[in-house]
A = this chain, B = another copy of it.
């Protein structure tokens, strides 16, 4: 008779998942700059602080390692990754490659609903530009770009974007300021949306290439101003 399951599909609140929680907490700690690049991640310490055992912490650390937020020196432990200028370059280079592709795919899947979603996000960016919260502004910016990857409709593409984004977020904690006027940034996204609706692959590619390239150049400047970084790979 099946009266057991009220058929509505709610998002499973499967948060008995310690590993995932620990991973999120660690990620946040790294992004927020509470754990600085190069810092050692002491398993027992984290475990005690979170009130769990070391096993979930280790598994979470392995996740963040694969994600590029931590590096593992066998028998020595995990360390917060130190991104060097060359890493930033690699990430932005890949980001351009990936997002150009996502843009072209997205333009093919463009529907009124999608268009509105992007449009609304740009509005949010303008609103956020008024208040003085850089972290928030950057987050809204990422959201827009993430939407493009969502619309592109490839899970792998989206995950790749998320990975790159979380690596980039690491540096934000260090830079701590934007590379341009928030309103201007929001405007460039309007232009981007426009060419997406247009639908010419070459133009989309050129536009996104320029758009992200601009951020790359600016961020690159800021990073190179920072205290020089020797890689976490000691000895």
Contact = CB atoms under 8 A, between A and B. Distances in A.
A214 to B, nearest CB: 19
A157 B75 contact: no
Interface of A: 14, 16-17, 19, 55, 58-59, 62-63, 66-68, 74-75, 90-91, 93-94, 97-98, 101, 105, 154-157, 160
A62 B63 CA distance: 7
Contacts of A68: 156
B93 A154 contact: yes
A160 B157 contact: no
- Chain A interface SS verdict (over half): helix
Contact of A62 (B59, B91, B93): B59
B94 A157 contact: yes
Contact of A97 (B14, B97, B155): B97
A150 B97 CA distance: 17
Contacts of A91: 156
Contact of A155 (B90, B157, B160): B90
A224 B129 CA distance: 50
A97 B101 contact: yes
A91 B159 CA distance: 12
Given A63-B66, A66-B63, A74-B16, A94 B55 contact: no
A62 B156 CA distance: 17
28 contacts: A14-B74, A16-B75, A17-B74, A19-B62, A55-B55, A55-B58, A58-B59, A59-B59, A59-B62, A62-B62, A63-B66, A66-B66, A66-B67, A68-B156, A90-B154, A90-B155, A90-B156, A90-B157, A93-B105, A93-B154, A94-B101, A94-B154, A94-B156, A94-B157, A97-B97, A97-B98, A97-B101, A160-B160
